[in-house]
Structure 1
Amino acid sequence: MNKNNENIDLDETDTKSIESEKVSVCDESQRTVWFIASELAGLPQMPTSTRRARDELERLLKNRDHLKRKRVGTKGYEYHISILPLETQQSLGTEALEGTQEPKPSYSDLSLYKDFTEEFALIPGYRIQVSAGHGSLNPDQLEPTRHLAFRRKWLKYRGFKEKDLAIVWAKGDSMEPTIHNNDTLVVNMERKKPSDGHIYIFRNGDELFVKRYQSMLGTWRLISDNSFYSDLDIPKEEQYQFEVVGQVVHIAKDLGD
């Protein structure tokens, strides 16, 4: 595998623990100010499910990576109480409230983060599934739900600018075998002029969909790689109804369990 195009999902990347505080434990007599999503789900101002609570914690984190760390002995992450809404903090009791002041990242944490960001660019991912009718992809109006890290050397090699890239997820089987359901798609939103043979995300009304593009004497032919689906021909007089959101320049996928 070429390491130059290696990417890392920060939700699964180990981060160095902040050594100034103990790891939180379930014993009420020893509880500290770090909590995992399952401990917070259902509390005031928090979603009821663990998965949605984790998503909300990532939103509240707002790139303050020193307020998130891996819980020792598990694969999960825990979050500092200072990122939580006040009502949630209060529901955790007086022992937890004593630690609501945001901890300062140590010099070693800052040094590691600086080294990391010098080598990797953090590309924002949005809770959007193309072909699912979730509206337009406009980073100026959306909050990213996570970030994926890509080596800056790879971005330079491909001629990409960090600010032009966004990440969405595929839905459906119309582009199989090239793109499968839930594949991660890196979109270059600077490339809005379609070129034959390449894959783009298009918007028509409130629907986003991904298709391979071909020009046929002025007509746009939007091709599904899955032969079960028919091609869609867009005559020139109707093309104004379609927006080219950007070109799919990288696909990340799981190979199964």
Structure 2
Amino acid sequence: MTNDSENKELKESDAGLAETDQASVGGGMKRSMWFIASELAGHGSFPTSDRWTRDHLKDLAAGKEHLCRKRRGTKAMEYHISLLPADTQRSLLGDNADQINEAPQPYSSIPIVSDFLEEFALIPGYRIQVSAGHGSLNPDQLNPVRHLAFRRKWLKYRGFNEHELAIVWAKGDSMEPTIHSNDTLVVHLGRNTPADGHIYIFRNGDELFVKRYQSVLGTWRLISDNSFYSAYDIPKHEQYNFQVVGQVVHIAKDLGD
């Protein structure tokens, strides 16, 4: 067949779209489910005019903008077959009309925050550094400066109530290698009765510090994991000066610079 005879079999299309209306084919010459106006004109109940077909497609796509898009590399708009009337679908695909893929879903305007908060709890972090050294003064910060997300599944597994958790930061080296300076500490504020072997944050006036606890015949022994520092004993008659702020239940570390 010559080029002239091939051209005679081509449909007429709008002059304005002559350079952009390309065949709706995918890889391996497999027909896609997206069609431009010139491919739909005359199929089923569509008019034979490309221009009228485009107007009809615009009406069908009103409120269903996710089913139309600009064809890549052209100026033409293409429309998903699920948008088309049943007779047009049959005219295009014949016996394969019942094998149309599921239509694309519209983009959601609902933010993902609600779904995110169903899976994660945001634990408040305060601009407070607790001493893991010689002690530091820390003013109370009632308003959190940031939040860290923890999976609710993990919190449930650990038996934690998110409202009893808070985040502070360590300062100093007395708890190394367990806690390094600037490590993030998750503190369980509901656990303020110390138990042997666990790490707690203690308050003495405005001084906050983090130590491992041991009970020795009624005396509180506050132990530094860094052997360079000596243990500090608090006899029973002085313990009223100290408050157990909470137990350190999780440590997050930065690695590298």
> The TM-score by the shorter chain falls in which range?
0.5 to 0.7
Q: Secondary structure at the match of 1:213?
A: strand
Match of 2:213 in 1: 213
The reply on whether 1:126 has 2:130 as its aligned counterpart is: no
**C-alpha displacement of 1:246:** 0.1
Q: Secondary structure at the match of 2:227?
A: coil
TM-score by length of 2: 0.56
- Aligned ranges 1:96-111 → 2 under 5 Å: 108=108, 110-111=110-111
Once residues 153 and 164 of structure 2 are traced to their aligned partners in structure 1, the CA distance between those partners, rounded to angstroms, is 16
Match of 1:167 in 2: 167
- 1:17-49 alpha-carbon deviations (Å, 9 max, x no partner): xxxxxxxxxxxxxxxxxxxxxxxxxxxxxxxxx
Match of 2:18 in 1: none
- 1:105-152 alpha-carbon deviations (Å, 9 max, x no partner): xx946441011000000000000000221045xxxx611000000000
- Does the C-alpha gap of structure 1 residues 238 and 122 become closer, same or farther in structure 2, counting only changes over 3 Å? same
- Does the C-alpha gap of structure 1 residues 222 and 112 become closer, same or farther in structure 2, counting only changes over 3 Å? same
**C-alpha displacement of 1:173:** 0.3
Computing the radius of gyration from Cα coordinates, the structure with the larger value is: 2
**C-alpha displacement of 1:251:** 0.1
Match of 2:101 in 1: none
The reply on whether 1:229 has 2:229 as its aligned counterpart is: yes
Instruction: Give 1:215's aligned amino acid.
Output: S
Counterpart contact for 1:168–1:186, Cα < 8 Å: yes
Once residues 147 and 108 of structure 1 are traced to their aligned partners in structure 2, the CA distance between those partners, rounded to angstroms, is 26
Q: Secondary structure at the match of 2:115?
A: helix
Count of residues in correspondence between the two structures: 147
- Does the C-alpha gap of structure 1 residues 234 and 112 become closer, same or farther in structure 2, counting only changes over 3 Å? same
**C-alpha displacement of 1:256:** 1.2
Match of 2:200 in 1: 200
Q: Percent identity?
A: 80
Counterpart contact for 1:135–1:205, Cα < 8 Å: no
The answer for unaligned runs of 5 or more in structure 2 is 1-106
The answer to which structure, 1 or 2, has the higher relative contact order (CA under 8 A, 6+ apart) is 1
Instruction: Give 2:154's aligned amino acid.
Output: W
- Does the C-alpha gap of structure 1 residues 111 and 221 become closer, same or farther in structure 2, counting only changes over 3 Å? same
RMSD: 1.4
Instruction: Give 1:236's aligned amino acid.
Output: K
Instruction: Give 2:242's aligned amino acid.
Output: F
Q: Which runs of 4+ in 1 moved over 6 A?
A: none
- Aligned ranges 1:17-96 → 2 under 5 Å: none
Counterpart contact for 1:200–1:210, Cα < 8 Å: yes
Instruction: Give 1:237's aligned amino acid.
Output: H
Match of 1:115 in 2: 115
The answer for unaligned runs of 5 or more in structure 1 is 1-106
